[in-house]
């Protein structure tokens, strides 16, 4: 029914499919016609001015559409979303169509000036900003209401008419990327710039952080090895190791900010102006006037949200924390009971019984984490945050606090209540190693295997001899639309965060933790890369200037680790022996050292600039230029008088 409408160019050969739209099966003709009309309509008429083509699938059902855009349209869209690109003089500037000639590699016939990920981001932005004009409802679905200014795509998504929108993979590019990323075993850096070109800044920053963090852990691992090899137990060596760790962790977190600034400056996102945030799709409320935009949109009282947060969510989180502690106490009781049982009737069965409580506890922790995650997501979306960013922050905070307690409470209990360093070391090692193995399996290898099996089955059904490259668009879409959706970097960062906790919180008890972390992270890079390239649908690129709230989370962890390490060192028998006369002196010394370390940490964080000097200079130069331009404008106006 629908042909490739276009007003800017109608040459069929120019159409390059970028984004796939899947409508629900049986969507009414009327709706499809209206929706596609809006997508191709001129900007002046309130359309998105994109290109759209129906995709004829084998089974004859016509519910999948390919969206593309003309080269010119994409360049204008790049200006709208505020993309920052490199100029011929190597400075970074916001792209504008009128100044396009000054940009590096720009040529009217160079269709690679914008990366495919950028094109897809622009199309996503244009689709999401396709807004209702005077429509009161989606044509064909009177129950799905619209109001002027409401994003049509978001409404279609929440009502289920639109199943999904996802960007297409570029099989050639992906193959190249796979090869340079994990295709050969090599020592060296990841191709971060290529990853960014293909997957966007958020994901590239995650891999950048993962790589940086792995390199940063190497000194700790190297220093940690002799402690294990020579079984050093001297207190002074532990103190040195812990002190090094604490200062090192501050330094690496500060230096990361600088590296992050270098990366995002090169990628243009450091300079990118924040777009005005629209309400998130799930946000609901009484229709009112937004005081900021003056537009009609759902309004929800901030007081009500605060009440929900403080009167429901907060108590619920506290209850969950309490429950987690309670479960932990049951675990210790079980452990004790198993030990007693083993002592009473010593047998093979009873010695096996010794492991049962740990296994049960590990399983229960995992189950609790999952259930809690759902509860947290439910609660946070019930809190009805207007902005996606605010939703994310509240969700991350809830999950972080619970995961932190759930994973580390037993270790804290062993360390500071039972005072059993042997058991602490043993539990730490078990928890760290098993969690790493489980994670890698559940996160990448299992989905990879499932995906592979599905692919094989699909390919067999379609045409058995074809290689990857010869797949038609229809076949590619059929394969990709069934792939899992990558839900963002949250879980990946969470894993790193917990690992950082295992490494730093009790580093003076188990120096080998850093070694395991390094080994894990090296394989993690590969398995995460595999996951991104093979398992999931291509995600939309998302510009990011830093790792956001995770920087704060890691910094908080490093502050907590100062406290725990100081206490652990203070409790070690070697240090104890140094103060034979007075326990008081010991405690006071430990407290003094702890405060000094904390003070040094804060001073270091304050003294190390967040951005390297040359980035600072470049930013200052841009600011200066824009001020000068403003002044020139004023001056030229004055001269006219």
List residues binding a copy of itself (CB under 8 A). 43-44, 72, 76, 79-80, 96-98, 273, 275-276, 291-293, 302, 563, 583-584, 587-588, 591, 595, 613, 617, 620-621, 623-624, 627-628, 631, 634-635, 637-639, 641
Neighbour count for residue 502 (Cβ, 10 Å): 24
For tokens 């940063």, name the residue. 216
C-alpha closest to that of 169 among 454, 544, 486: 486
Rounded distance between C-alpha atoms, residue 542 and residue 455, angstroms: 27
- Cα 504 to its chain centre, rounded Å, is 22
> Which is nearer to a copy of itself, 97 or 441 (by Cβ)?
97
> Which is nearer to a copy of itself, 158 or 275 (by Cβ)?
275
* Distance from the first to the final alpha carbon of the chain: 61
C-alpha closest to that of 565 among 411, 453, 459: 411
> Which is nearer to a copy of itself, 472 or 556 (by Cβ)?
556
> Which is nearer to a copy of itself, 80 or 350 (by Cβ)?
80
Rounded distance between C-alpha atoms, residue 97 and residue 171, angstroms: 30
Q: Convert 129-144 to b/e letters by CB count within 10 Å (16 or more is b).
A: bbbbeebeebbbbeeb
Query: Which parts of 90-191 fold into alpha helices (H)?
Result: 116-128, 152-159, 171-178
> Which is nearer to a copy of itself, 177 or 270 (by Cβ)?
270
Name the DSSP class of 510: -
Least CB distance from residue 300 to a copy of itself, whole Å?
14
Cα-Cα-Cα-Cα torsion 147, 150, 152, 157, nearest 10 degrees, comes to: -100
Least CB distance from residue 254 to a copy of itself, whole Å?
17
Least CB distance from residue 35 to a copy of itself, whole Å?
22
> Which is nearer to a copy of itself, 374 or 637 (by Cβ)?
637
Least CB distance from residue 602 to a copy of itself, whole Å?
9
- Spatial CB neighbours of 70, under 8 Å, sequence gap ≥ 6: 6, 8, 9, 14, 51
Least CB distance from residue 401 to a copy of itself, whole Å?
11
- The answer to whether 147 and 287 are in contact (CB under 8 A) is yes
- The answer to whether 271 and 84 are in contact (CB under 8 A) is yes
Query: Secondary structure of 384-407 in the HEC alphabet?
Result: CCCCHHHHHHHHHHHHHHHHHHHH
Rounded distance between C-alpha atoms, residue 147 and residue 154, angstroms: 12
Least CB distance from residue 285 to a copy of itself, whole Å?
16
> Which is nearer to a copy of itself, 121 or 181 (by Cβ)?
121
> Which is nearer to a copy of itself, 286 or 641 (by Cβ)?
641
> Which is nearer to a copy of itself, 79 or 135 (by Cβ)?
79
Least CB distance from residue 281 to a copy of itself, whole Å?
20
Least CB distance from residue 630 to a copy of itself, whole Å?
8
Least CB distance from residue 98 to a copy of itself, whole Å?
7
Least CB distance from residue 610 to a copy of itself, whole Å?
16
> Which is nearer to a copy of itself, 100 or 145 (by Cβ)?
100
Rounded distance between C-alpha atoms, residue 241 and residue 235, angstroms: 10
Strands 64-68 and 51-55, bridge-based pairing: antiparallel
For tokens 């209206």, name the residue. 34
Least CB distance from residue 588 to a copy of itself, whole Å?
7
Could you tell me the two tokens for 550?
Answer: 């995770």
Least CB distance from residue 395 to a copy of itself, whole Å?
17
Least CB distance from residue 592 to a copy of itself, whole Å?
10
> Which is nearer to a copy of itself, 23 or 127 (by Cβ)?
127
> Which is nearer to a copy of itself, 104 or 632 (by Cβ)?
632
Could you tell me the two tokens for 32?
Answer: 């499809």
Least CB distance from residue 76 to a copy of itself, whole Å?
5
Rounded distance between C-alpha atoms, residue 152 and residue 155, angstroms: 5
> Which is nearer to a copy of itself, 76 or 161 (by Cβ)?
76
3-state secondary structure of 166: strand
Cα atoms found within 13 Å of the Cα of residue 168, Cβ hemisphere only = 23
Rounded distance between C-alpha atoms, residue 151 and residue 154, angstroms: 5
Counted residue by residue, the chain has a size of 641
> Which is nearer to a copy of itself, 76 or 399 (by Cβ)?
76
For tokens 């580390």, name the residue. 408
C-alpha closest to that of 36 among 590, 28, 545: 28
Least CB distance from residue 246 to a copy of itself, whole Å?
16
* DSSP calls for 303-347: HHHHHIIIIIIHHHHHHHHHHHHHHHHHHHHHHHHHHHHHHHS-S
**Element of type H or E holding 162:** strand 162-167
> Which is nearer to a copy of itself, 17 or 47 (by Cβ)?
47
């Amino acid at each position: 029914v629908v042909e490739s409408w276009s007003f800017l160019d109608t040459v069929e050969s120019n159409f390059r499919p970028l984004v796939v739209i899947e409508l629900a099966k049986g969507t009414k003709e009327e709706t499809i016609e209206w929706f596609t009309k809006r997508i191709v309509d001129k900007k002046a008429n309130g359309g998105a001015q994109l290109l759209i083509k129906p995709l004829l699938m084998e089974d004859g059902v016509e519910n999948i559409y390919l969206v593309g855009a003309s080269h010119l349209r994409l360049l204008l869209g790049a200006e709208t979303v505020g993309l920052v690109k490199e100029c011929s003089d190597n400075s970074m500037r916001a792209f504008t169509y009128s100044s396009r000639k000054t940009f590096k590699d720009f040529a009217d016939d160079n269709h690679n000036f914008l990366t495919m990920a950028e094109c897809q981001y622009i199309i996503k932005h244009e689709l999401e900003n396709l807004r209702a004009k005077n429509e009161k409802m989606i044509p064909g679905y009177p129950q799905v209401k619209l109001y002027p200014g409401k994003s049509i795509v978001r409404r279609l998504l929440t009502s289920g008419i639109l199943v999904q929108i996802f960007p297409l993979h570029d099989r050639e590019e992906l193959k190249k990327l796979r090869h340079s990323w994990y295709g050969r075993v090599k020592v060296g850096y990841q191709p971060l710039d290529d990853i960014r070109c293909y997957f966007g800044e958020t994901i590239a920053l995650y891999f950048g952080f993962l790589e940086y963090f792995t390199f940063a852990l190497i000194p700790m691992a190297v220093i940690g090895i002799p402690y294990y090899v020579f079984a050093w137990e001297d207190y002074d060596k532990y103190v040195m190791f812990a002190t090094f760790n604490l200062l090192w962790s501050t330094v690496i977190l500060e230096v990361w900010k600088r590296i992050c600034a270098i990366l995002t400056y090169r990628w243009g996102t450091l300079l990118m102006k924040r777009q005005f945030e629209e309400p998130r799709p799930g946000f609901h409320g009484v229709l009112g006037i937004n005081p900021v935009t003056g537009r009609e949109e759902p309004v929800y009282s901030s007081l009500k949200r605060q009440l929900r947060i403080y009167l429901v969510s907060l108590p619920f989180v506290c209850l969950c924390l309490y429950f987690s502690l309670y479960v932990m106490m049951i675990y210790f009781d079980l452990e004790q009971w198993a030990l007693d049982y083993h002592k009473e009737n010593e047998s093979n069965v009873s010695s096996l019984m010794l492991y049962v409580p740990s296994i049960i506890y590990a399983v229960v922790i995992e189950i609790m984490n999952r259930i809690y995650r759902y509860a947290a997501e439910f609660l946070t979306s019930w809190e009805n945050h207007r902005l996606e960013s605010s939703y994310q922050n509240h969700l991350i905070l809830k999950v972080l606090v619970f995961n932190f307690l759930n994973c580390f409470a037993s270790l804290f209990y062993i360390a500071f209540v039972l005072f059993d360093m042997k058991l602490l070391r043993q539990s730490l090692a078990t928890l760290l190693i098993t969690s790493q193995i489980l994670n890698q399996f559940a996160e990448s290898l299992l989905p990879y295997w499932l995906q592979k099996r599905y692919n094989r089955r699909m390919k067999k059904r379609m045409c058995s001899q074809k290689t990857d490259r010869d797949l038609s668009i229809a076949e590619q879409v059929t394969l990709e639309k069934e792939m899992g959706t990558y839900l963002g970097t949250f879980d990946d960062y969470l894993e790193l965060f917990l690992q950082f906790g295992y490494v730093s919180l009790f580093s003076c008890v188990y120096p080998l933790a850093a070694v395991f972390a390094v080994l894990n992270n090296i394989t993690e890079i590969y398995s995460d890369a595999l996951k991104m390239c093979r398992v999931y649908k291509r995600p939309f690129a998302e510009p990011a200037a830093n790792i956001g709230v995770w920087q704060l989370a890691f910094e908080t962890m490093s502050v907590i680790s100062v406290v725990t390490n100081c206490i652990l060192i203070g409790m070690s028998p070697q240090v104890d022996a140094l103060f034979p006369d007075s326990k008081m002196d010991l405690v006071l010394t430990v407290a003094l050292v702890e405060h000094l370390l904390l003070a040094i940490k804060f001073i270091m964080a304050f003294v190390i600039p967040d951005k390297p000097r040359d980035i600072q200079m470049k930013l200052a130069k841009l600011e200066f230029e824009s001020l000068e331009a403003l002044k020139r404008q004023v001056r030229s106006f004055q001269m006219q008088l």
